[in-house]
Amino acid sequence: MAKKIYIDAGHGGVQPGAVNGKRKESDDTLRLALKLQALLKDQDCEVRLSRSKDVDIKINDRCRDANNWRADYFLSIHRNAASASATGNEIWIYSKANEYTEAKARNILNAVCKVDGLKNRGVKRGAPSYTDYGVNRDTNMHSALIELGFISNSSDNKVYDAKLDAIALALAKVLLSVVGSEWKEPIIMGDVNGDGKVTAADARETLRTAAQLETLSEKEKVAADMNGDGKVTAADAREILKESAGVK
Ligand SMILES: [Zn+2]
């Protein structure tokens, strides 16, 4: 059964979280959550967001939602705030989290630091008296709360904006791995040779397959079958040629 990944975009609505000028933590967390949802949509997992718009949801409602859905992993996305020079990523786990929860959190943090290049501030264990975050305390599954750079630091914000796609991709991949699944490169329709672009070369390969001069792999056949009729034909090659020429 597909594993369930719950993505919690921190704050929202009347609770913007940390603010720096016009920039709100709640917007930053939502942008990333939506990208993660899009990336994970076609992967071998189920994904659910605590919110997909700018609304205020109570912490216990987020936890209840994830518990009722029976998520396998819960990641809460946040951005940090302190002095203007504080920098880096860190991740928080429940005070009573076991070694598996800790290892998963470490993998997630390391994966992000690798792509955004910010300082790795480590895995932090909450304390029952004051730093146990509700999302870690009141969820039943492995969970963590990640702080992605400091919104109070303009250079961390530049990194966040410039690297957001890379951060989302790294998170999507590592989240799949923490639930025991793995990232599969999505198929781009028309990109038969898998070079990331739809070109006349793809049309030629499709035409050669249609004429039974060439055999494509199963994955390549899916990418070549533009009209979705289950066969690779000259009609598909024509579609690919049109797309490669920007005619569509
Ligand atoms: Zn926050």
Collapsing DSSP states into helix, strand and coil, what is residue 121? strand
- Name which of 65, 32, 55, 88 is nearest 135 in CA terms: 65
CA-to-CA distance for 196 and 198, rounded, in angstroms?
7
DSSP sequence for 154-193:
HHHHHHHHHTHHHHHHHHHHHHHHHTT----PPPPTT-TT
Query: What is the CA(68)–ligand 1 centre distance, in A?
Result: 23
Domain 3-178, architecture per CATH: 3-Layer(aba) Sandwich (3.40)
Tell me if 181 sits within 8 A of 3, measured CB to CB: yes
pLDDT tens for 40-73 read 998 999 999 999 999 999 999 999 999 999 999 9
- What residues act catalytically? 147
Comma-separated ranges of CATH 3.40.630.40 domains in the chain: 3-178
Q: How many CB atoms lie within 10 A of CB 7?
A: 28
Query: What is the CA(80)–ligand 1 centre distance, in A?
Result: 6
The per-residue pLDDT for 248 is 63
Query: What is the CA(12)–ligand 1 centre distance, in A?
Result: 10
CA-to-CA distance for 87 and 116, rounded, in angstroms?
12
The per-residue pLDDT for 131 is 84
Query: What is the CA(1)–ligand 1 centre distance, in A?
Result: 32
- Which residue's entry shows tokens 């809460």? 76
CA-to-CA distance for 64 and 135, rounded, in angstroms?
10
pTM score: 0.86
pLDDT at residue 219 tops 90? no
pLDDT tens for 166-187 read 999 999 999 999 999 999 988 8
